[in-house]
Amino acid sequence: MHGAPPRARRFRARAANLALAAVSLALALLGAEGLVRLLSPIGPALLVIDPGVGKRFVPGFRGSVFVDEAEREVEVRINSAGFPGPEWPRRKPEGGLRIAVVGDSMTAAIATDEERRFVGRLEASLAAGLAPRSVEVLNFGVSSASTASELLRWREVVAGYVPDLVLLAFFTGNDIGDNSPRLTHAPRVYFDLDADGRLVSAELPPPTPALVRWLDHHSRFYVWQKAALRRLRGAGRASRGLEPGQMIFVRVGGPDVEHAWRLTAALLGRLRDEVEASGARLAVAVIPCAEQVDDELWSDLVRRARDAGLELEREGPSRRLAQIAAREGIPLVDLAPAFAAAARRSPGEPASAARLFLLGRFHLSDEGHRVVAEALHRFLVEGGGRGLLEPY
């Protein structure tokens, strides 16, 4: 009896080796999944790519999420529209005031308990001061957002809630870089400028593939490795010099940085036009990053910039954003002075961001949210934004 031909034996051997490799890989992945679930408190991914607005949170999510920088679990509630907080009725109460706050992860504030976020604090303080008039402050913050995606969010979602005031929270830590397709390449919405400086159509990211959505929801190992890779990339960029978002501090930027500033100005102007055309008003609140507030962090940033041949200006973002707002006729409140005052416990001491940002430099802490809410309240009730709460 003759054995199988050599070619058939080789085929069977290769098939057996592939099957063994597949089983080994599956066992390794199951082992990694088990280890992450056993040793890491990381939860499911909450963001999904939306072809209409760039990104949203998983609609209807309810649960406890462990947040590394907060070093604890936070109860998170996402409404059916995919934004933080409770469900909102489409129609506001007759005679009521509705404010839509549009921003990125500093506004979404998943690391902070819902009632302690500046959006909730602002609603409570305005409601107390304007009673019996009803007040709603809606949180349209989404992590990894940019001014470009916020423009689309206004068109596709926010406008449908018919707010009286749209408050754009501009974060100096990354919004300039995130707006520019020349400075960043993350999967988000990007507009650009044509040869005449006019805003041209957004480039939309493709929707999240079904397999990735499933892994985000069901595999803790998949979510963990994505977070680990992001941290490694961030550490690598920091060790080489300034991150893209930190180019906002460069005194004399190169062509790409100046393009990012022009693009940001065009986006703000377009958003103002569309908001006002709806009968609402637009205002901008500038939230400073930790480097603007903390003397030690600023010194380290200056040193890294100097090594790269760059000169920084600490007040540069405030100055340039104020110029854009004045030119576009947009009321603006710069929160950097309020943060600077809160960061300096006594005259002569170095300013520290430790109390205002989680781990001293990331998202806002409870105290940081308190500072933002109180500064916004003063702006809207006593300061330059007083008229924004009156009927248009």
Average confidence score pLDDT of the chain: 85
Top-confidence residue, 180 or 225: 180
The answer to whether the CB of 288 falls within 8 A of the CB of 169 is no
The answer to whether the CB of 334 falls within 8 A of the CB of 318 is yes
C-beta atoms surrounding 374 within 10 Å: 17
Which own/partner contact pairs does 213-218 have at CB distance under 8 Å and 24+ positions apart?
Answer: 213/48, 216/44, 216/45, 216/48, 217/44, 217/45, 217/58, 218/44
Top-confidence residue, 38 or 58: 58
Check residue 345 and give its pLDDT.
75
**b/e string for 201-220 if b means 16 or more Cβ within 10 A?**
ebebbeebeeeeeebbeebb
The answer to whether the CB of 363 falls within 8 A of the CB of 357 is yes
Which own/partner contact pairs does 195-198 have at CB distance under 8 Å and 24+ positions apart?
Answer: 197/262, 197/266, 198/266
Q: Longest Cα pair distance anywhere in the chain, in angstroms?
A: 99
For 87-211+246-389, the fitting CATH number among 3.90.650.10, 3.40.50.300, 1.10.1760.20, 3.40.50.1110 is 3.40.50.1110
Model pTM score: 0.83
What residue ranges in the chain does DSSP mark as E strands?
Answer: 47-50, 54-57, 62-67, 72-77, 97-103, 135-141, 165-171, 190-193, 199-203, 281-287, 332-334
Handedness of CA 311, 317, 323, 324 (dihedral sign): positive
Q: What is the mean pLDDT of residues 338-358?
A: 89
Q: What are phi and psi of 217, to 5 degrees?
A: -85, -30
| Domain residue ranges of the chain, discontinuous segments joined by + | 87-211+246-389
pLDDT band at 187 (very low <50, low <70, confident <90, very high): confident
Helix (H, G, I), strand (E, B) or coil at 389: helix
Q: What percent of the chain has pLDDT over 90?
A: 59
Cα–Cα distance between 191 and 199 in angstroms, integer?
7
Q: What is the pLDDT of residues 271-296, one digit of tens each?
A: 999 999 999 999 999 999 999 999 99
What DSSP designation does 97 have?
Answer: E
Q: What is the pLDDT of residues 303-318, one digit of tens each?
A: 999 998 999 999 999 9
The set of residues, in sequence order, having a beta carbon less than 8 Å from that of 141 and lying 6+ positions away, is: 83, 84, 101, 102, 103, 104, 105, 106, 107, 108, 109, 119, 169
